[in-house]
Amino acid sequence: MKTLRLWLRKEEIDPEALSGSTAVVIDVLLATTTLQAIVEGGACRVFPTGSMEEALRLHQSLDSPQVLTGGEEDGLLIDGFDCGPFPDEFGPDKVKGKDVVFLSTNGTRAIAGARSASRLLIACLRNAPSVARYLSETDSDDIYLICSGSKGRVSLEDTLCAAVILSRMDTRGWKLDDAAWLVREFGWTQQQKTGEILQQARVGRWFMQNDKADLLRYVGDIGASHSLIEVKNGRLHLLPPHPQSASPAEP
């Protein structure tokens, strides 16, 4: 029997439990959304890093004018980095053919914490249906959805993304843990209110207060991307996309 477990905060990550599993890290606002944009923009190599020390060490070791640094630390721009954390900073004109070293407070640290998984993917609302289809068809018996959360707290937007994925999977015959069951129910009833939910989330409110409503709409565009992105050997790799997204499962 396949099992699916949901962790609502990166602090729940158990590297030993992840061994042999397929794991998906979610950080809707903003790391996994931005990392997806960087990959889709044609970057050569993309490195999500787990600490400032790792980011600086990697940047120094690459030692090339073709390397960009981006991200945030505690919600603030990082002194000396080329870009911040927003996806619209990483268009094709900026990243095509370049290497990108990226650091964030929650998302990239969650990715680093989940590296012991046999297969590790990233997800956001924009590619959630494709991730749901992939997970529905995987031959892995153990699946973990990992919400990054926000410095030890549950985040509404990450939980929403997990809900969208779960509600679009056919999990008949699977064993779901309590969190996955609860969040799947949330997805069946609430995913049509994505925009409203994002605006009510703590980080989403900051977007609205700082004239970034258009960017929040971009973040919340469910199914806009068919990209499947795997983390392997510390880098992001674009996998062949499924021809169509998974259909919602019936409650």
Average pLDDT in the 91-108 region?
98
How many beta carbons lie within 10 A of that of residue 89, not counting itself?
A: 16
Average pLDDT, the chain: 95
pLDDT of 243:
59
| pLDDT tens, position by position, 19-48 | 999 999 999 999 999 999 999 999 999 999
Query: Which pTM does this prediction carry?
Result: 0.95
pLDDT score of 207: 96
User: Distance of alpha carbon 3 from its chain centroid, rounded?
Assistant: 21
| pLDDT higher than threshold 80 for residue 188 | yes
Omega of the bond leading into 58 within 30 degrees of 0 (cis): no
pLDDT band per the 50, 70, 90 thresholds, residue 156: very high
For 6, the enclosing helix (H) or strand (E) is strand 3-7
Task: Please determine, for residue 206, whether its predicted confidence score (pLDDT) is greater than 80.
Answer: yes
Residue 241, pLDDT > 80, answer no
Whole-angstrom CA distances from 140 to 1, 120, 174 are: 10, 12, 12
* Residue 251 pLDDT greater than 50, yes or no: no
d(CA 222, CA 225): 8
Query: What mean pLDDT comes out for the span 206-230?
Result: 97
Q: How far apart are alpha carbons 85 and 70 in whole angstroms?
A: 6
Three-state SS for 239?
Answer: strand
CATH homologous superfamily of 3-30+116-239 equals ComB-like (3.90.1560.10)
